[in-house]
Amino acid sequence: MTETGKPLLRVLQGEAVWPPPLWLMRQAGRYLPEFRALRDKADFITRCMTPDLATEITLQPIRRFAMDGAILFSDILILPWAMGQSLDFVQGTGPVLGAIRSEADLARLDPQRVADATAPVMETLSRLRATLDGPDPIGAAQGGKVALLGFAGAPFTVACYMVEGHGSRDFEATRGMAYANPMLFDRLMDMLTRATADMLCAQIDAGAEAVMLFDSWAGLLPPSQFRRHVIAPTRAIVREIQTRRPGIPVIGFPRLAGVMAAEYARDTGVKTMALDTGTDMAAMAGQVPPDLTLQGNLDPLLLLAGGDAMAAEARSIRDAMKGRPHVFNLGHGVVPPTPPEHVGELVRIVREG
Ligand code: 1CP
């Protein structure tokens, strides 16, 4: 099977394919009983850093639902962890990091450590690619049609967790630092921009066929700051990948970007823009070039609810995008209480064409 035979890759290159290929953000995770069974065996970082476990978790949803894309099981915070920042995933609280607030804190990070520290992630990717494109003893290859996606957090969103030290509604310390100490914040952003491009190139070398940049907190920024901390670093990463690994598509996800999304699509060079739940896909399609792929954007809470309302909305999104390049997905991640049968039903509906 050649690469061009994978429907998801064809769409990510700008081709309209019907019915649209699909995968779901957070498709591997707590809503699957087989994931919960493994979760009790090892903590989160161990699961990410053990190729046997990360490979298995990545493939679980593919075996069950045969999505068109398999996304590496890892996390956007693995990069700061690999640079030496302390990171702990606390049950019920989320990630906790040793906050970066000063030059001295920043000086303790070492991007040179990333290649060695993330070697197990690259091993996971090469095993995944071999499985997905190989003969099919464990039912995960789906005839060589499943594309392998790598990812990273975009610099601004990763900086949010690094500076704040934990999740937040508004990341006040981070946005405050960007205004009050722009020299320090820019140094952190530059470090992240370079390290992210390097890590994504390494993921591509290990087998990723496309990569996604999650900018989950992009929408917190006013326009001038959005241009500086979202568009500019994303453009730098996209250019670096285009130069060093030509032909590999980049999916950008500027979550909650609102009216700035069209500018992001125009100025970053991403091949695909993923849209959050609040964006009207058809309206956005009218504002971006016809060969820019759009990805999204069913509400994860409609997937949780299931039934006729979910079916109607999924068909409506799919049909509105007919004739243009579209990857069907959610507008944000699958929520843990989602019944797996609803995911199966969604896959069936999107594929009925
Ligand atoms: O113990 C556990 O099971 C931890 C839960 C968990 C999981 C399953 C975390 C902690 N991360 C992940 C996996 C993950 N994270 C993936 C894997 C692939 C897949 O989608 O199946 C991906 C792509 C991410 C990306 C990620 N992590 C984002 C960007 C997308 C988004 O959801 O907006 C963000 C913001 C994170 C940070 C993070 N990691 C984990 C949690 C609980 C959070 C959110 C913290 C917060 O803001 O409160």
Q: What are the extents of the domains in the chain? A: 26-293
Q: Is 315 a catalytic residue?
A: no
Does 216 count as an annotated binding residue?
yes
Does 187 count as an annotated binding residue?
no
Give the residue, by CA position, lying nearest to ligand 1 atom 34: 76
Q: Are strands 69-71 and 293-298 parallel, antiparallel or unpaired?
A: unpaired
How much is the pLDDT for 20? 98
Evaluate whether 256 touches 215 at the Cβ level (below 8 Å): no
Lining ligand 1 with CB less than 6 A are: 25-29, 39, 44, 71, 73-77, 89, 94-95, 151, 167, 214, 216, 333
How much is the pLDDT for 221? 98
Q: pLDDT band for position 140 (50/70/90)?
A: confident
> Which has the higher per-residue pLDDT, 327 or 5?
327
How much is the pLDDT for 263? 97
Q: Is 26 a catalytic residue?
A: yes
Rounded to 10 degrees, what is the CA torsion of 177, 238, 191, 226? Answer: -10
CA distances 328 to 178, 204, 279, Å, are 35, 23, 14
Q: What is the pLDDT of the chain when averaged over all its residues?
A: 96
How much is the pLDDT for 345? 98
Q: Is the model's pLDDT at 99 over the cut of 60?
A: yes
Q: Is the model's pLDDT at 94 over the cut of 70?
A: yes
Q: Is the model's pLDDT at 173 over the cut of 50?
A: yes
> Which has the higher per-residue pLDDT, 20 or 135?
20
Q: Is 68 a catalytic residue?
A: no
- Please state, in angstroms and rounded to a whole number, the distance separating the CA atoms of residues 338 and 302: 10
- Please state, in angstroms and rounded to a whole number, the distance separating the CA atoms of residues 236 and 247: 16
Q: Is 30 a catalytic residue?
A: yes
Q: pLDDT band for position 1 (50/70/90)?
A: very low
Q: Is the model's pLDDT at 2 over the cut of 70?
A: no
CA distances 182 to 99, 178, 187, Å, are 17, 5, 8
How much is the pLDDT for 80? 98
Does 27 count as an annotated binding residue?
yes
Which one from 10, 47, 133, 161 is the annotated catalytic residue?
Answer: 161
Q: How far away, in angstroms, is 309 Cα from ligand 1 center?
A: 27
Does 319 count as an annotated binding residue?
no
Which one from 31, 47, 68, 75 is the annotated catalytic residue?
Answer: 75
- Please state, in angstroms and rounded to a whole number, the distance separating the CA atoms of residues 188 and 190: 5
How much is the pLDDT for 315? 98
Once rounded to an integer, what is the mean pLDDT over residues 173-186? 98
The model's pLDDT over 236-266, given as tens digits with 9 standing for 90+, comes to: 999 999 999 999 999 999 999 999 999 999 9
The model's pLDDT over 8-35, given as tens digits with 9 standing for 90+, comes to: 999 999 999 999 999 999 999 999 999 9
Residues of the chain above pLDDT 70, percent: 99
- Please state, in angstroms and rounded to a whole number, the distance separating the CA atoms of residues 33 and 341: 12
Q: How far away, in angstroms, is 321 Cα from ligand 1 center?
A: 28
Pull the structure tokens for residue 31: 């809503």
How much is the pLDDT for 270? 98
Q: pLDDT band for position 143 (50/70/90)?
A: confident
Evaluate whether 85 touches 58 at the Cβ level (below 8 Å): no
Q: Is the model's pLDDT at 114 over the cut of 70?
A: yes
Looking at this predicted complex, what is its ipTM?
0.91
Q: pLDDT band for position 294 (50/70/90)?
A: very high
Nearest to 211 by CA among 260, 254, 265, 250: 250
Q: How far away, in angstroms, is 172 Cα from ligand 1 center?
A: 21
Evaluate whether 120 touches 49 at the Cβ level (below 8 Å): yes
Once rounded to an integer, what is the mean pLDDT over residues 150-165? 98
Q: Is the model's pLDDT at 280 over the cut of 60?
A: yes
Once rounded to an integer, what is the mean pLDDT over residues 171-187? 98
Q: Is the model's pLDDT at 4 over the cut of 70?
A: no
Q: How far away, in angstroms, is 75 Cα from ligand 1 center?
A: 6
Q: How far away, in angstroms, is 276 Cα from ligand 1 center?
A: 16
How much is the pLDDT for 39? 85
Q: Is the model's pLDDT at 282 over the cut of 50?
A: yes
- The reply to whether the predicted model has a pTM over 0.80 is yes
- The dihedrals phi and psi of 112, each to the nearest 5 degrees, come to -65, -20
How much is the pLDDT for 167? 97
How much is the pLDDT for 137? 67
Q: Which long-range contacts (CB under 8 A, 24 or more apart) does 201-205 make?
A: 201/240, 201/241, 201/244, 201/245, 202/115, 202/118, 202/122, 203/72, 203/121, 203/122, 203/125, 203/150, 203/151, 203/152, 204/150, 204/241, 204/245, 204/248, 205/122, 205/245
Give the residue, by CA position, lying nearest to ligand 1 atom 4: 44
What is the dotted CATH code of the domain comprising 26-293?
Answer: 3.20.20.210
Q: Is 75 a catalytic residue?
A: yes
Give the residue, by CA position, lying nearest to ligand 1 atom 3: 44
